[in-house]
Amino acid sequence: MRDPAGGHDEKQQPFVPNVGLRAAAGTAAAAAPARGAGVPAGTAASSGRDKGKETSFDGGGDNDDDDDDDTLAGSSQVDFEKGDKRFDDGNDGDDGDDVNRRLLAGPSSPASGSASDDDDNDNDTTRKAKPPKRTSGKTKNNNNHRQEHVRWRDLPEKGQLTVLTLARLSEPLVQTSLQSYMFYQLKSFRPDLPDSVIASQSGILHASFTAAQFLTAMVWGRLADSPRFGRKKVLMIGLTGTLFSCLGFGFAQSFWQALVFRSIGGATNGNVGVLRTMISEIVRERKYQSRAFLILPMTFNVGVIIGPILGGVLSDPAHSYPSLFGGNAFLERFPYAAPNVLSAFFLLSALLAVWLGLEETLDARHGKRDHGIELRRKVAALFRRGAPADAIAYTPLATHSRHVSDVSEASTVSVEMADVAVGGDGTSATAATATTTNSSSSSSSSTTKARRRLRYTQRLPFRRIFTKNVTLTLLAQSIFAFHMGTFNSLWFVFLSTPVFDPAATPAAHALPQKLPFVFTGGIGLPPREVGMAMAILGVFGILLQLLLYPAVSARLGTVRSWRLFLCCFPVTYCVVPFLSLVPSAAPPPHAKTGVAVWLAIAAVLLCHVVGRTFALPAQTILVNNCTPHPSVLGTLHGVAQSTSSLARTVGPMLCGYLYGLGLQHGLVGAVFWGLSGVAVCGFVASLLVREGNGHSIWLDGDVEDEDEE
């Protein structure tokens, strides 16, 4: 074949297996033109590499899988695919001295190119070819991080993670608080409605939040990725919308008013995806991910403990505490306003913490002014008493030092004037004259050295996000969200459903009770005891996440632990309806009580919480790591939240309706057993999912996330 670069004939290189790869590398290096030898523009070495465009490693730049005329010497962009087989050195984690990548990059290859995105993560031992990384001469540690013992105190950026924790805590606290009394609040709107209708309305209220979230979550994800908004603004909008929705729901006087305010809360809230994105950008090293991504579900469990207790204790205080609040006209008119006002206070606190303390993590907004951070620094400066004037004139800029990992702390913390206005290009211009020339040049040098280097310069097109592994991961997450969201909705309703009374007149269409499958009724707990039952769930979750999850996850790995503990959910859903048959210390129609009842509730919740504790963080990590390119990380989390919201919309609405039918026909367990079948389908789907690396598609200009000096 005629080599356009060298102008001589060269035989096409044959398919070379790994065992002889080093010999082939020597042959290719001898035939390749030397660096700086004057290869003319337009040769094969630079074909398909127009600036700002995507390129592939097939040498043709057409992003196909054909390797008809590719040679090792004629191009620095070679696709080593041959009959759907790729070269591999047997070590997925080796990014430093991979022989295959040396052949792909060569000594003169710039960091560019894009791997074809078909079946990106189908095989754990297959890696796409990617450009060489730009390092500062340090050797990258490629040990298996899952075997390292990481402690909570080892996590980086604890201050930023604390702010994210407060932002996450507010939402489950609000949601679980209202769930503890939702059945009774709906009953107060129309006391004449039967329990089956109330159960259906409860499912609709749950679904309204997630339905609105489904319509807008993808939009919030795109806005979080845009330079105009960024992560922080989207997070603040979500907290503000949830606050407004919470207050409106507490003062609602009808089912339709409650439905509108719940929908507003869902439409303005895309926070879960944004929080997951920010955690992955703050904690970039994968050895910390099992701990970092555990923060969100752990915070959820804290909210599950606090929220139901507050909701149960504060709901309808005029009737719950007649000696204190009896005869209060305001509380009698708005019996469920008190817990929502308290929840709104938590939301306001989280909103202020985010505005004043959270730093933007989006690369595209780096260097832009943050009025909340500036206000916090000015207020903090006012309270520093007795400090010299020049001592408070400089403030450490931790945002930049976070991203330079291997340089000592003293040399990476940049310093700027307290009243500095940061320009859009990342440079700073002081509003006042610097005190000395030396201090100004020192500050500028430090800022330049610690300035965050972009990991990518292009954004992956939306159509290329949905690779095979991304699609399968989202499918598995949707099934998981379906049965988890449905159970969370039905569990509160089941706890509040009146106990079956054999002496009462049966419904017109009710089947005669015939064990073990034909029976009806719930547990009949009041709001305070419903809150206590949910608090048990949260306590179990916290203990498991602190004491058991890190060790088990490190031993089994993300995917294996995820698949293993998904098996807990079918068992839980099969057993739940039989709680209504546990002998009670009080006769029907009184609420079930006694040691046997609470031990049975605790056992069922323990099985469910064990599954959730291990499956939920692993699910989040898998979604994060299946991202084909870092430029669409926020978008993918938005898509994931949108698909999850759709599942959480359909599940409670459909199963709430079926639960009501079950009560009418004396078959309360049917919906739970059907949910168990859905959970089995989720386990089957998990067998098709593979863990990605978060950057399976490479675009022109991409470089490794390494230090640069």
In a domain, 6, yes or no: yes
In a domain, 636, yes or no: yes
Span 519-547, average pLDDT: 80
Span 688-699, average pLDDT: 82
In a domain, 706, yes or no: no
Cβ atoms 416, 397 nearer than 8 A: yes
pLDDT digits (tens, 9 = 90+) for 38-50: 444 444 434 443 4
CB atoms within 10 A of CB 97: 12
> Are 387 and 417 in a shared domain?
yes
In a domain, 265, yes or no: yes
Rounded Cα distance between 19 and 297, Å, is 46
- pLDDT for residue 505: 60
CA 389 to each of CA 69, 385, 418, 435, 706: distance values in angstroms, whole numbers, following the listed order: 69, 10, 11, 12, 38
Lowest mean pLDDT among 82-96, 541-555, 667-681: 82-96
> Are 470 and 612 in a shared domain?
yes
- pLDDT for residue 656: 84
Type and span of the H or E element at 86: strand 85-86
CB atoms within 10 A of CB 280: 25
pLDDT interval class at 636 (50, 70, 90): confident
pLDDT interval class at 305 (50, 70, 90): confident
pLDDT digits (tens, 9 = 90+) for 309-345: 888 888 888 888 888 888 888 988 999 999 999 999 9
The type of residue at 579 is L
Span 502-518, average pLDDT: 69
Strands 428-430 and 420-422: antiparallel
List the structure tokens of 708. 């640069």
pLDDT interval class at 158 (50, 70, 90): confident
pLDDT interval class at 149 (50, 70, 90): low
List the structure tokens of 355. 């505005």
> Are 273 and 374 in a shared domain?
no
Rounded Cα distance between 384 and 511, Å, is 74
65 or 231, higher pLDDT: 231
In a domain, 261, yes or no: yes
Position 576 pLDDT exceeds 90: yes
Strands 85-86 and 394-397: unpaired
Q: What are phi and psi of 110, to 5 degrees?
A: -80, 170
In a domain, 700, yes or no: no
Rounded Cα distance between 458 and 478, Å, is 29
Where does 334-467 have alpha helices with state H? 337-357, 371-382, 398-401, 409-412, 437-450
> Are 354 and 371 in a shared domain?
no
pLDDT interval class at 511 (50, 70, 90): low
CA 541 to each of CA 458, 530, 611: distance values in angstroms, whole numbers, following the listed order: 41, 17, 10
> Are 221 and 121 in a shared domain?
no
Span 582-606, average pLDDT: 86
> Are 135 and 158 in a shared domain?
no
In a domain, 242, yes or no: yes
Cβ atoms 704, 598 nearer than 8 A: no
Type and span of the H or E element at 9: none
Cβ atoms 694, 286 nearer than 8 A: no
> Are 398 and 501 in a shared domain?
no
> Are 525 and 641 in a shared domain?
yes
Residue 106, class by beta-carbon neighbours within 10 Å (0-12 exposed, 13-18 middle, 19+ buried)? buried
Give 3-state DSSP helix, strand, coil % of the chain, rounded to 5.
55, 5, 40
In a domain, 560, yes or no: yes
Rounded Cα distance between 317 and 338, Å, is 8
Cα torsion angle, 361, 366, 369, 375, sign: positive
Strands 85-86 and 414-417: unpaired
> Are 444 and 330 in a shared domain?
no
Rounded to the nearest angstrom, the gap between the alpha carbon of residue 160 and the centroid of all alpha carbons in its chain is: 16
Looking at residue 599, which CATH number applies to its domain? Answer: 1.20.1250.20
> Are 357 and 485 in a shared domain?
yes
pLDDT digits (tens, 9 = 90+) for 59-74: 344 444 444 443 333 3
Cβ atoms 55, 69 nearer than 8 A: no
Span 362-374, average pLDDT: 83
Lowest mean pLDDT among 403-412, 578-587, 696-705: 403-412
List the domain range (segments joined by +) for residue 1.
1-142
40 or 526, higher pLDDT: 526
> Are 309 and 389 in a shared domain?
no
Among 485, 538, 592, 523, smallest CA distance to 309 is for: 538
Cβ atoms 35, 108 nearer than 8 A: yes
Q: What share of the chain in percent tops pLDDT 70?
A: 66
Among 51, 76, 149, smallest CA distance to 555 is for: 149
Rounded Cα distance between 521 and 498, Å, is 6
Most confident stretch, 5-19, 233-247, 592-606: 233-247
Say how many domains are in the chain.
3
pLDDT interval class at 572 (50, 70, 90): very high
Where does 268-370 have alpha helices with state H? 271-282, 289-292, 295-314, 317-320, 322-325, 329-333, 337-357
Q: What is the C-alpha radius of gyration for the chain, rounded to an integer number of angstroms?
A: 29
Last residue within a domain, chosen from 450, 481, 506: 450
Rounded Cα distance between 151 and 158, Å, is 12
284 or 21, higher pLDDT: 284
**Cis amide leading into 589 (omega within 30):** yes
Cβ atoms 493, 199 nearer than 8 A: yes
Position 55 pLDDT exceeds 50: no
Cβ atoms 428, 447 nearer than 8 A: yes
Among 501, 496, 503, smallest CA distance to 520 is for: 501
Position 570 pLDDT exceeds 90: yes
> Are 609 and 512 in a shared domain?
yes
